[in-house]
Amino acid sequence: MIKLLLILSIIGLHLINAQELKPWAAALQNLTEQEKEVIVNKGTERPYTGKYLNNKEEGVYTCKVCDAPLYQSADKFNSNCGWPSFDDEIKGAIKHKKDADGYRMEILCANCNAHLGHVFKGEGMTAKNTRHCVNSISLNFKKKETKKEELKRAYFAGGCFWGVEYHLESIKGVKDAISGYMGGKMKNPTYQEVIRKNTAHLETVEVVYDPNVLSYETLAKAFFEIHDPTQTNGQGPDIGSQYLSAIFVKNDEEKATIQKLVKILESKGLKVATKIIEAKEEVFYKAEDYHQDYYEHKGSKPYCHAYQKRF
Q: Is the pLDDT score of 25 beyond 90?
A: no
Q: What is the CATH number of the domain that holds 243?
A: 3.30.1060.10
Mean pLDDT of 271-297: 91
Q: Is the pLDDT score of 292 beyond 50?
A: yes
Q: What angle do CA 8, 12, 17 make, to 5 degrees?
A: 150
Q: Is the pLDDT score of 179 beyond 90?
A: yes
Provide the annotated active-site residues.
Answer: 160
- Closest by CA position to 106, among listed 120, 88, 90: 120
| 165 & 70 share domain | no
How, if at all, do strands 105-109 and 115-121 pair? Answer: antiparallel
Contact by Cβ (8 Å): 124, 250: no
Q: What angle do CA 127, 129, 130 make, to 5 degrees?
A: 125
| 263 & 226 share domain | yes
Query: What pLDDT, on the 0 to 100 scale, is given for residue 148?
Result: 59
In this structure, is residue 10 part of a structural domain? no
| 139 & 152 share domain | no
- Which of 270-274, 278-282, 307-311 has the lowest average pLDDT? 278-282
How many Cβ atoms sit within 10 Å of the Cβ of residue 39? 26
The pTM of the full predicted model, rounded to 2 decimals, is 0.58
How does residue 180 score in pLDDT terms, banded at 50, 70 and 90? Answer: very high
| 158 & 285 share domain | yes
| 241 & 266 share domain | yes
Q: What is the CATH number of the domain that holds 71?
A: 2.170.150.20
What total of structural domains would you count in the chain? 2
Query: pLDDT per residue over 121-131, tens digit each?
Result: 999 999 999 99
Query: What pLDDT, on the 0 to 100 scale, is given for residue 147?
Result: 63
Domain boundary among 110, 127, 143: 143
Query: What pLDDT, on the 0 to 100 scale, is given for residue 219?
Result: 97
| 170 & 294 share domain | yes
In this structure, is residue 20 part of a structural domain? no
Q: Is the pLDDT score of 8 beyond 70?
A: no
Q: Is the pLDDT score of 14 beyond 80?
A: no
Domain boundary among 94, 117, 143: 143
| 269 & 156 share domain | yes
In this structure, is residue 13 part of a structural domain? no
Task: Enumerate residues 6+ apart whose C-beta is below 8 A from 268.
Answer: 310
Looking at the DSSP bridge assignments, the partners of residue 106 are: 97, 118
| 181 & 268 share domain | yes
Contact by Cβ (8 Å): 227, 245: yes
- Closest by CA position to 94, among listed 81, 77, 107: 107
Query: What pLDDT, on the 0 to 100 scale, is given for residue 146?
Result: 62
| 60 & 175 share domain | no
**Amino acid identity for residue 36 in this structure:** K
Query: What pLDDT, on the 0 to 100 scale, is given for residue 71?
Result: 97
Q: Which range of residues forms the domain containing residue 124?
A: 33-143
Query: pLDDT per residue over 70-109, tens digit each?
Result: 999 999 999 999 999 999 999 999 999 999 888 899 999 9
Query: What pLDDT, on the 0 to 100 scale, is given for residue 149?
Result: 60
Mean pLDDT of 217-231: 97
Q: How far is CA 76 from the centre of its chain?
A: 8
Query: What pLDDT, on the 0 to 100 scale, is given for residue 90?
Result: 97
| 41 & 120 share domain | yes
Q: Is the pLDDT score of 9 beyond 70?
A: no
| 158 & 282 share domain | yes
In this structure, is residue 58 part of a structural domain? yes
| 75 & 182 share domain | no
Query: What pLDDT, on the 0 to 100 scale, is given for residue 297?
Result: 81
Query: What pLDDT, on the 0 to 100 scale, is given for residue 1?
Result: 52
Domain boundary among 87, 120, 143: 143
In sequence order, what DSSP letters do the residues of 17-38 get, joined into one string?
HHHHH-TTHHHHHT--HHHHHH
What is the C-alpha to C-alpha distance for residues 251 and 20, in angstroms, rounded to an integer?
58
Query: What pLDDT, on the 0 to 100 scale, is given for residue 296?
Result: 82
Q: Is the pLDDT score of 4 beyond 60?
A: no
Mean pLDDT of 188-206: 93
